[in-house]
Amino acid sequence: ADVEVIHWWTSGGEQAAVSVFAKEFDKTGDKWVDNAIALGETARAAIMQRALGGDPPDAAQFNPGRQYEELISAGLLLDLTPLAEKEGWDKFIRPAETVAPCKIDGKWWCVPVNIHMNNWAWASIPAFKKAGLEVPSTWDEYIADLPKLKDAGVIPFAIGGDGGGWQVSLMANQLILAQLGAANVEKIWKDKDLDLAGGPEVLKAFQTLKALGGYADPGSPNRSWSDTTSLVISGEAALQVMGDWAQGEFQVAGQKPGVDYACLLGPLLPDAKNVRIGGDIFVFFKQKDPDVERAQLSLASMMVNPQVQAMFNTAKGSAPIRDDVDLSLANDCMKKAIEVLKQPGAVVPDQNVWRNEAFATAQNAIFSDLIYNANTTPEAAQAQFVELLKNAE
Amino acid sequence: MTTTVATEQALTQRQLKARAGRRRLAGKLSAIIGTLPMMIVAIGVFVIGIIFTVVLSFTNSKLFPSFNFVGWRQYEILWATPRWQQSVINIWFYGFGHIALCLGLGFALAVAIDQRIRGEDAFRTVFLYPFALSAVITGLVWQLMLDPNWGFQAFVRSLGYTDFTFAPLANSNTALLGMVVASVWNGVGVTMAILLSGLRGVDEEIWKAARIDGIPTWRTYISIVVPMMRGAVATALVLLVVNVVRTFDIVIAMTGGGPGISTQMPATYVIDNINSRNVGHGMAAATCMLLPIAVLIIVQAVYRWRASRRGRTT
Amino acid sequence: MSAITASAGIEPSGPRPKQVTAARVGIYAFLLIAALFFLIPLIVMIMTSMKSMNEIRGGNIFALPTQPTFDYWVKAWSSACTGVACTGLAPGFFNSVKITLLSVPISIVIAMINGYALSFWRFRGAELMFAILVFGAFVPFQVLVYPIIFGLSRVGLFGTLPGIVIVHTIFGMPILTLLFRNFFSSLPVELFKAARVDGAGFWRIFFSVMLPMSVPIAIVAVILQVTGIWNDFIFGLVFAGRENMPMTVQLNNIVRTSTGTVEYSTNMAATVLTGAVPLIVYFVSGKWFVRGIAAGAVKG
Amino acid sequence: MATSVDIRDLSLNYGAVTVLDKLNLEVGRGEFIVLLGPSGCGKSTLLNCIAGLLDISAGQIFISGKNVTWDEPKDRGIGMVFQSYALYPQMSVEKNLSFGLRVAGFKKEEIDARVKHASEILQIQPLLKRRPVELSGGQRQRVAIGRALVRDVDVFLFDEPLSNLDAKLRSDLRVEIKRLHQRLKNTMIYVTHDQIEAMTLADRIAIMRNGVIQQFDTPHTIYNKPVNLFVAGFIGSPSMNFLNGQISNDGTFETGGVRIPLNGYGWEDGAVKTGAAVLGIRPEHVTVGAGAKALPFSADVDIELVEPMGADTIAWTRLGGHSVTFRAAAEIELHAGQKVTIGFDPARGSVFDAQSGDRI
Amino acid sequence: MATSVDIRDLSLNYGAVTVLDKLNLEVGRGEFIVLLGPSGCGKSTLLNCIAGLLDISAGQIFISGKNVTWDEPKDRGIGMVFQSYALYPQMSVEKNLSFGLRVAGFKKEEIDARVKHASEILQIQPLLKRRPVELSGGQRQRVAIGRALVRDVDVFLFDEPLSNLDAKLRSDLRVEIKRLHQRLKNTMIYVTHDQIEAMTLADRIAIMRNGVIQQFDTPHTIYNKPVNLFVAGFIGSPSMNFLNGQISNDGTFETGGVRIPLNGYGWEDGAVKTGAAVLGIRPEHVTVGAGAKALPFSADVDIELVEPMGADTIAWTRLGGHSVTFRAAAEIELHAGQKVTIGFDPARGSVFDAQSGDRI
Ligand SMILES: Nc1ncnc2c1ncn2[C@@H]1O[C@H](COP(=O)(O)OP(=O)(O)OP(=O)(O)O)[C@@H](O)[C@H]1O
Ligand SMILES: Nc1ncnc2c1ncn2[C@@H]1O[C@H](COP(=O)(O)OP(=O)(O)OP(=O)(O)O)[C@@H](O)[C@H]1O
Ligand SMILES: [Mg+2]
Ligand SMILES: [Mg+2]
């Protein structure tokens, strides 16, 4: 049967990755009906509105967390538990932070397809060379390099402000994580610890963000992450903090890690103890046609298939959701990540798991205002952040 | 057409009245059927939609409407949120800029075109065509033109003025200006067209009288003609205000609301909240957006109703 | 407008000597500069769509293409990727045509009937209906999307071609009704009375008398609706259903997609192609727009 | 004479404004009635009520004996000709004429026959294929009449059909309408505020003011025996001279020191009235020059202004402090500043009560 | 009398269309000139040329002896009153009057004095604070005149200032304009197509047709001695009766078997003409009844149609195959179908050459 899938994977690397799913699925005799809608917010809004209208797609992409909680409670989603139990998803999907968003109260509602590590820094080796510098290995080194990079005519700090400022938010999260560590991060976003959120460590992170903002280029405010990455790829910019999906862009551009670019995990820490992970999941909407349901389950099963996982994640630049994957194709950066992933307690989940999308939208606004509005002080932004957290549900 | 009279008069007054009532209804029935779509839309979509909006603004609805009433809480949060405050400031600034420029430039263009110039059709078409392009396309092309690396700034720098800086969208203080430029580019043509038809509607004898009085052309426009074009200005104004209130696409296409939150608008706030499944809050913002308009419309409706009491045919 | 002093000796006779006045030059200068301001973005779009990426990178967007090429147009039309499918804009184009061809006449005829009824068949509550409609014009679309989704799915039209046509009709209604109402109110009421005496009813008067007279304002309405509907993105995305996705959805995917680096050429080619239909409508019928608008917009 | 249109206690309000107030009007079959009155007095409103184009507030309307109060316009047996003619602009003359018949579902042959008949009567056969924009004002008017004609109605309603035309065409078409009426013998109700039209066309004139009919009588009676000051002043151009004064017991009218004996005046109820009154005398009933001395009243006056009108001359003068105009043949030499003797027979004048304005 | 406006060989074309063709007109100081002619004959065009509102194609215009051909309207010493009055709608009457002066930079006291003076003359002091919408037609017209008055101009131009008004107001204002002229003694050029206005107001009338002045003379001459058929037919209402016929050698006019002796007719150059000719006789020069027999020509005719006009009656009849109207006093009883004797004195008529239409 035809299975219509809505996703927002439209950039180069993403296209390659999603094509893996589509090709593999078509081989099973069913048909992947692709419905790509650029931009996550737009795509999710379309999914939700179609769900409300009683005409949901057969499968849809989300980020793990609370984005689809209403769909579950409204009973719109296909229960994947029988399939998961049959295939033993519990046993091979790891870490626990990846399982949690999909397995709620003992029932599986979605399929995680990849693990993204958000806290990477991507550095252009030629750009640093141009300024007569080595790629820094610590954050302090980098901060010291900023003025020199600027003098050399390189954009010292690459960041983009599109989509309401999620890139800035990602950056800010890193800075806060670096200040507080994994446990405290959970206290803030999960338990709404306002004292901590209003404390000096967080303020330090805000101050750093503001300072970094001064080294961004004028083209930054409404730039997409991939445009920003391409600045690093071309060597116009020195360093970008972005999730591992940026890796795909370097690959498409034919660049080699260690030669053309460097991947630095946990850029704020001397050695990476924590990784913040996110990823993508797919939900399946209940459909009347049993044949479609069969095809949906077949697609779900295929998505966690080790071979498919290997091909998909290689193309996407993300980590597979299972260990027993042939990672011979993975490059050095990827391997580095998977090592860290294995360490217990290393994983910090994305805040999406605790707070809803509305919170994220509001938080993005605060961070991007801080970085792009010269008049906004770190203190003011922190106050807004505390207020937001107080009202969050 | 002459009818037998006896039977007619044999009918009682009441029978006649009943028959007349039926006939009159039959006459109006098609009118009611004809306007059924309008009534369905007016009541079924707009009234229900607005009631829905207002009611939900007092709930903490997420994705699905829920009737978990939370009083004024959404409004309290709303007005404490800097992004919303900024949006409200922005829409006034942007709205004022957009409307003033559209009216001003539109009027200037209309006046210029009104001077019996050559190639009038060509000029009109050129001024009007951007309206054919969506806000998304407008935003894209202007984003490109104003991009410091590709656009106007780069062009001037390539001419040798390497210090030239013109990148309004990159600066949170000027981004709104960049948006006004693009939206004026898109919308001024229609304003011009409306004002031009208004100008053409002014009695030619007024012009002659002014010339005989020795009033300079510009003075005639300002002191005499403009005050006479109230209808055209009103229409243009309504269209402009509608566009301003709904401003959304061009923000998304040009700046995404940035840098920071410097080009956020109420509509983007509402829609972001609805899309991020915070419907109750979004509806509170929407209700706030509708309020000033509602006041305006009610004033206008009372005025109309007064006038319509004076005149009704059939 | 021009002051001419008859220099001594010349006896004024016949036509006033023509002089190129500063004011006249100023007007043309103003118009030409304005025309440039309005044309540049279009020129930039077209030029950019005909340059290679290297050229764009090397020069600036105002430079003429050194080796103009239509490759990107072909690519945008037939092979640009949006997600898995690499079919370009072509499939969406026909969906847009379908939606536009259906929605424009239906929305206009309904608005025309509204304007006609509001002008000649005033009934109790008609003015109120109209006030509500005008108010509706100010409501952000997206606020109303929710109730409409519920309504349409209730009657089974959500995600179908009739569904999207209904949505366009709803959202076109306020402004179009306003235009038609103003237009019909400016017609002599005697015409209506004469037709009533002739025995014609609501529909007969509409079709035989009013419809043929409303050509100028209908042209304005057609232009407005073609533009609005063709350019629509949000409604198409939500209401049209996957088979009927309009071109703008693919445009959005193309321009928001970057294969490594942003391919401005393809973006611009796609943009120009998407904008082509309403642009042509404007360039062909723009002069009727100004004439027609006088019929419906100027009367308050 | 059978009654054709009978209006009983007709009232019409627009909201709180009463435009027509308990109006009664009975029109005989074949009569040519003119509704005359100043702008805004309710003439068009009355016509629209008769046609069924306005919903009345109270009262009844009978046409040809049938109560049509609640009937649709098309069922009343009326045809209407509007000031703007209201021809359907996009239809040819032929289509304009046949529209009503086509709506009513007549057979093609019948329609053709009627259109042919009407266009012959109105002499518009050569125009049948043209559209209204291609017609002159007079031709348009004929088509508008034809539209009523083909429908074979009992009553024709005209709402100022000539007031858009220039003077010359107006007087030509006036005669044409009169001839048409003589030929068709339908009932015609004709609204105008042009008194020449009213005087020349009407069998009877209804003079309206503020929604009330002031006088409904033949043109001759209205001209010579107006029932009140309003009618007297409204009819006649230049208008009747009014002298405010007092009637003393001996039946002499006194104004500004001038005494005018009212001997021979036909008092309304035969008895002489006294007290404050207004004496009205038409300009053409004032004689100038030699003959004036012989009349019951004469006086010497100065001419203030002279208006030569070609066929005759209007002169302005003062009598007892009131401005008085008189009409003299063009042959009589008159010029401003001249001293002349004028005279008139008060028996040809009208006397009105100063308070009520009614004729006494 | 000094010349006030002098137009020499004025031509005006719109593209290929010649609207005015080598037109000459000399107007004396203080004269009241009326331009009269059918619609589209170029009256407004001529007025606009004088005012400087249109660029002429050839010729010269002198006002008060100064060549103003190339002058701006405001520098020509003219004021103009338009058909629509063209008052500035959003300004008060006072502003309307003073706007031109303020723009010209007059002192406040001077402006006030002039406005006061003009408003006194026109009796509009109580209206100074109102806006044009709050004025009646007559008041608006006075304001429009006032606007010319404050500018203290030599020449007033009026373009059909009364044609938007109803009959009663029109005749009142006509008198008012006449009085104003008597008082101000400015030169006035007045365009109309209403001949009553022309006859009553003008010192001299210029009758125009197709951009050419046909006759320029006093109303009396134009009425009684029209230079050609066009002027004869254009002036007079009801219009002159025309009989087509032949003049035989003995000076008898024959038409359709009716012979009319032309004894006593004042031939243009004193000599009797013969051949095809048109005899014109005004309706008021036709006598009916007893007196008719005594006239040089009389005949028995049937009355076809009667139009009572109040003061007098117009009757339509036929003579020698031609339709003939005559005017009779209202007292004379006339009705359609009646046989009457009519008569007239051909010496009071006009005879025109059948070919050229010129008076002979
Ligand atoms: N639709 C309406 N609403 C309120 N009042 C109206 C309406 N139509 C007419 N009137 C009022 O009714 C009165 C009579 O109007 P009507 O049109 O019958 O006058 P009329 O005698 O035909 O005048 P005219 O000679 O100017 O045509 C006027 O005072 C007018 O203001
Ligand atoms: N702008 C123009 N272009 C071409 N022809 C014109 C223009 N204005 C006027 N005419 C023509 O010039 C002729 C004279 O027009 P004008 O307005 O002077 O007539 P008029 O005597 O004032 O008529 P009316 O009594 O109708 O006002 C007309 O035949 C008219 O068609
Ligand atoms: Mg009327
Ligand atoms: Mg004219």
Residue type, B35: T
Q: Which ligand is nearest to the CA of E39?
A: 2
d(CA D187, CA D155): 5
Q: Is residue E291 in contact with ligand 2, taking CB distance under 6 Å?
A: no
d(CA D226, CA D217): 10
* Minimum-distance CB partner of C199 among D51, D74, D82: D74
Residue with CA at minimum distance from ligand 1 atom 3: B311
Residue-wise burial string across D151-161, b where 16 or more C-beta atoms lie within 10 A, e elsewhere: bebbbbbbbbb
The 3-state secondary structure of E91-103, one letter per residue: CCHHHHHHHHHHH
| E36 Cα: distance to centroid of ligand 4 (angstroms) | 10
pLDDT of residue D292 exceeding 90: no
Q: Which ligand is nearest to the CA of D38?
A: 1
> Looking at beta carbons, which pairs linking E196-199 to residues 24 or more positions away fall under 8 Å?
E196/D309, E196/E171, E196/E237, E197/E34, E197/E162, E197/E170, E198/E34, E198/E36, E198/E235, E199/D307, E199/D308, E199/D309, E199/D310, E199/E223, E199/E235
Residue type, A273: K
Question: Which residue, among B194, D55, A343, has the nearest Cα to C224 in the 3D structure?
Answer: B194
Give yes or no for a contact between B148 and A218, defined as CB atoms under 8 angstroms apart: yes
| E159 Cα: distance to centroid of ligand 4 (angstroms) | 7
Model pLDDT, residue C4: 45
State yes or no: chains E and D have 3 or more CB pairs below 8 A. yes
**Cα angle, residue C206 at apex, residues C204 and C208 outer, rounded to 5°:** 60
pLDDT of residue C152 exceeding 60: yes
Percent of chain C whose predicted confidence (pLDDT) is above 70: 92
Angstrom distances, CA of residue E243 to CA of B218, E238, E313, E326: 59, 15, 22, 14
Q: Is residue D41 in contact with ligand 1, taking CB distance under 6 Å?
A: yes
- Distance from the Cα of B172 to chain C's closest Cα (Å) equals 23
pLDDT of residue C144 exceeding 90: no
**CA B52 from centre of chain:** 22
pLDDT of residue C56 exceeding 80: no
pLDDT tens digits, one per residue of B2-50: 444 444 444 555 665 666 666 666 667 788 888 888 888 888 888 888 8
DSSP letter (8 states) at residue D289:
S
pLDDT of residue C73 exceeding 90: no
pLDDT tens digits, one per residue of B254-296: 887 778 888 888 888 888 888 888 888 888 998 998 888 888 8
Chain D residue with CA closest to B314: the answer is: D54
Model pLDDT, residue B304: 67
Model pLDDT, residue C7: 47
| A176 Cα: distance to centroid of ligand 2 (angstroms) | 83
* Minimum-distance CB partner of D14 among B17, B24, B310: B310
Q: Which ligand is nearest to the CA of D209?
A: 1
Residues of chain A where predicted confidence (pLDDT) is lower than 70:
266-273, 326-330
- Cα end-to-end distance, chain C, whole Å: 31
pLDDT of residue D346 exceeding 50: yes
Chains that touch C (3 or more CB pairs under 8 A): A, B, D, E
Chains that touch B (3 or more CB pairs under 8 A): A, C, D, E
Q: Is residue E45 in contact with ligand 2, taking CB distance under 6 Å?
A: yes
d(CA B45, CA B40): 7
| D159 Cα: distance to centroid of ligand 3 (angstroms) | 7
User: Among all chains, which residue has been given the structure tokens 């611009």?
Assistant: C268
Give yes or no for a contact between E146 and E118, defined as CB atoms under 8 angstroms apart: yes
Model pLDDT, residue A59: 92
What is the rounded (10 degree) CA torsion for A147, A151, A152, A156?
Answer: 40
Question: Which residue, among D184, D179, D183, D217, has the nearest Cα to D199 in the 3D structure?
Answer: D217
Instruction: Kindly list the protein residues that place their beta carbon closer than 5 angstroms to ligand 3, a single-atom ion.
Output: D 44
d(CA B161, CA A153): 18
- Tell me whether D335 touches chain E (CB under 8 Å): no
pLDDT band for D15, please (50, 70, 90 cuts): confident
ipTM of the complex: 0.83
Chain D residue with CA closest to C210: the answer is: D88
- For C150, other C-beta atoms within 10 Å of its C-beta total 16
Residue D268 half-sphere exposure toward CB, CA atoms < 13 A: 12
DSSP letter (8 states) at residue B40:
I
- For the segment D205-228, the average pLDDT, to the nearest whole number, is 91
**Span B57-313: which CATH code?**
1.10.3720.10
Q: Walk along chain B (314 residues) in steps of 10 and give the mean pLDDT of each run.
A: 44 61 68 86 87 89 83 88 89 93 93 87 88 85 83 82 82 87 91 88 87 88 87 85 85 81 87 84 89 81 67 38
Q: Is residue D40 in contact with ligand 1, taking CB distance under 6 Å?
A: yes
pLDDT tens digits, one per residue of E279-328: 999 998 898 888 888 888 888 999 988 888 877 888 989 888 888 999 88
Percent of chain D whose predicted confidence (pLDDT) is above 90: 24
Model pLDDT, residue B6: 42
d(CA B139, CA B136): 5
d(CA B58, CA B132): 39
Residue type, B159: L
Give yes or no for a contact between A46 and A36, defined as CB atoms under 8 angstroms apart: no
Binary contact (B235, C120; C-beta < 8 A): no
- For the segment C286-295, the average pLDDT, to the nearest whole number, is 76
Model pLDDT, residue A269: 59
Give yes or no for a contact between D259 and D252, defined as CB atoms under 8 angstroms apart: yes
Pocket test for ligand 2, best of E18, E20, E45, E190 (most atoms within 8 A of CB): E45
Question: Which residue, among D246, D340, D342, has the nearest Cα to D297 in the 3D structure?
Answer: D342
**Main-chain dihedrals φ then ψ at residue E321, nearest 5 degrees:** 90, -10
Residue with CA at minimum distance from ligand 2 atom 17: E44
pLDDT of residue C108 exceeding 90: yes
- Cα end-to-end distance, chain D, whole Å: 31
- Cα end-to-end distance, chain A, whole Å: 40
d(CA D248, CA E279): 56
Sheet containing D241-247, strands listed edge to edge, beginning at the edge strand earlier in sequence: D258-261, D252-255, D241-247, D275-281, D350-353
pLDDT band for C111, please (50, 70, 90 cuts): very high
pLDDT of residue C6 exceeding 50: no
Give yes or no for a contact between E293 and E257, defined as CB atoms under 8 angstroms apart: no
| B311 Cα: distance to centroid of ligand 1 (angstroms) | 10
Model pLDDT, residue C189: 87
| E196 Cα: distance to centroid of ligand 4 (angstroms) | 17
Residue D253 half-sphere exposure toward CB, CA atoms < 13 A: 30
Q: Is residue E16 in contact with ligand 2, taking CB distance under 6 Å?
A: no
Residues near B40 by beta carbon (within 8 Å), at least 6 away in sequence:
none
Q: Which ligand is nearest to the CA of E46?
A: 2
**CA A278 from centre of chain:** 5
Sheet containing D78-81, strands listed edge to edge, beginning at the edge strand earlier in sequence: D78-81, D155-159, D187-192, D32-36, D204-209, D212-217
Binary contact (C14, E67; C-beta < 8 A): no
Question: Which residue, among B280, B245, B281, has the nearest Cα to B266 in the 3D structure?
Answer: B245
- Distance from the Cα of B172 to chain A's closest Cα (Å) equals 6
Model pLDDT, residue D34: 94
Domain-wise residue ranges, chain B = 1-52, 57-313
Residues near A23 by beta carbon (within 8 Å), at least 6 away in sequence:
none
pLDDT tens digits, one per residue of D152-191: 888 999 988 887 777 677 777 888 888 888 888 889 999 9
DSSP letter (8 states) at residue D227:
S
| D8 Cα: distance to centroid of ligand 1 (angstroms) | 20
User: Among all chains, which residue has been given the structure tokens 């959005």?
Assistant: C252
- Distance from the Cα of A214 to chain B's closest Cα (Å) equals 12
Of ligand 1's atoms, which has the minimum distance to the CA of residue D15? Answer: 4
d(CA E136, CA D39): 13
User: Among all chains, which residue has been given the structure tokens 């330090």?
Assistant: A204
Residue-wise burial string across E267-301, b where 16 or more C-beta atoms lie within 10 A, e elsewhere: eeeeebeeeebbbbbbbbbbbbeeebeebbbbbeb
Chains that touch D (3 or more CB pairs under 8 A): B, C, E
Give yes or no for a contact between A37 and C237, defined as CB atoms under 8 angstroms apart: yes
d(CA B308, CA A333): 75
Model pLDDT, residue C217: 87
pLDDT tens digits, one per residue of C206-245: 999 999 888 888 888 898 899 889 988 888 888 888 888 8
Residues of chain E where predicted confidence (pLDDT) is lower than 50:
none
pLDDT band for C300, please (50, 70, 90 cuts): very low
- Distance from the Cα of B245 to chain A's closest Cα (Å) equals 20
pLDDT of residue C182 exceeding 50: yes
Residue with CA at minimum distance from ligand 2 atom 20: E40
Question: Which residue, among A56, A30, A102, has the nearest Cα to A288 in the 3D structure?
Answer: A56
Model pLDDT, residue B309: 57
- Distance from the Cα of B27 to chain D's closest Cα (Å) equals 8
